[in-house]
Amino acid sequence: MWIAGGGCLVIAQRRTRVKFCGMTRADDIREAALLGVDAVGLVFAERSRRRLTIEQAAALRDATPPLVDVVALFMDNSAEQVREVIARVRPSLLQFHGSEPPAFCEQFGLPYLKAVGMGGQGVAEVAAVIEAHRHAAGFLLDSHAPGAAGGTGERFDWADVPIIEGRPLLLAGGLAPDNVATAIRMTHVWGVDVSSGIESAPGQKDAGLMLRFIEAVLAADADQGRRPDDSATVPDRVR
């Protein structure tokens, strides 16, 4: 899109947003912030290997620098649990991975992302979930089947990513430094979400993999003209 300004034409370019999920260590969050991530995810789903206690999550929240969103991830948790997390952890966004109906997700007064399990679902089923959650801030397309947990490191066929105007889509499931650029070029999604693809062990992020992931996203954006070439670099201070 071209915008006139100052007597010349400049091009307005988008960039792919990045969320690092399943954070369990303050040092990993600080490193992610230095790399320029937009959001970090803290997991409260009972079946997750990266699940945090309220006390752990509150400490990680305090370690998160300004202008980095904190996303609290739930999967069929009770409303009381969600409210306790909101009160003590102060997340910017909520993310629901279970069978939560729209009314449940909307009751907390915070913007939310709804995860859509792409495993075994057809276009009609995916569209139905998105239509039902019309007040969601965005949707996270993950590889798990409905009712199953995410964070498995498995991917789905990116050709199945729907085209939905005006609804931010985040791609998750099996993303890693070696494939995220291809995924962005294929799907043109609003953002990408990664957990196991930047880990040395569940919940333990690897600084080298985090850096490579961000570099791959920037390269894909530069290829598509999403951001100026001269800004498609990672700050030298974190190399």
Through-space distance between the first and last CA atoms of the chain, rounded to whole angstroms: 33
Say if residue 8's pLDDT is above 50.
Answer: no
Active-site residue, selected from the candidate residues 8, 69, 76, 142:
142
Q: Name which residue leads in pLDDT, 160 or 183.
A: 183
Instruction: Check residue 165 and give its pLDDT.
Output: 76
How many other CB atoms sit within 10 Å of the CB of residue 161? 18
Instruction: Check residue 88 and give its pLDDT.
Output: 98
- Helices 79-89 and 54-63 pack at an angle, to 10 degrees, of 40
Q: pLDDT tens-digit profile of 124-171?
A: 778 888 899 999 999 999 875 455 555 555 677 788 787 777 789 999
CA atoms within 13 A on the CB side of 122: 1
* Region of poorest pLDDT, from 86-95, 177-186, 216-225: 216-225
Say if residue 55's pLDDT is above 70.
Answer: yes
Indicate the residue type of 174.
G
56 touches 84 (CB < 8 A): no
224 touches 185 (CB < 8 A): yes
Q: What is the pTM of this model?
A: 0.85
Please give the distance of CA 115 from its chain centroid, rounded to a whole number: 10
Active-site residue, selected from the candidate residues 21, 28, 105, 221:
21
Instruction: Check residue 56 and give its pLDDT.
Output: 98
Match 């803290």 to its residue by tokens: 42
The burial class, CB within 10 Å (0-12 / 13-18 / 19+), for 56 is: middle
**For residue 219, what are its two tokens?**
């390269």
Residues 11-23 have a mean pLDDT of 83
Catalytic site residue 230? no
40 touches 11 (CB < 8 A): no
Catalytic site residue 160? no
Instruction: Check residue 118 and give its pLDDT.
Output: 81
Q: Hey, which bits of the chain come out as E strands?
A: 2-5, 8-11, 17-20, 39-43, 69-74, 93-96, 112-117, 138-142, 169-171, 191-194, 199-201, 204-205
Say if residue 6's pLDDT is above 60.
Answer: no
**What is the rounded distance in angstroms from the CA atom of residue 184 to the CA atom of residue 66?**
27
Instruction: Check residue 72 and give its pLDDT.
Output: 98
- Nearest CA among 2, 6, 11, 1 for reference residue 229: 11
Q: pLDDT tens-digit profile of 34-46?
A: 999 999 999 999 9
Q: pLDDT tens-digit profile of 65-123?
A: 999 999 999 999 999 999 999 999 999 999 999 999 999 999 999 999 999 988 666 67
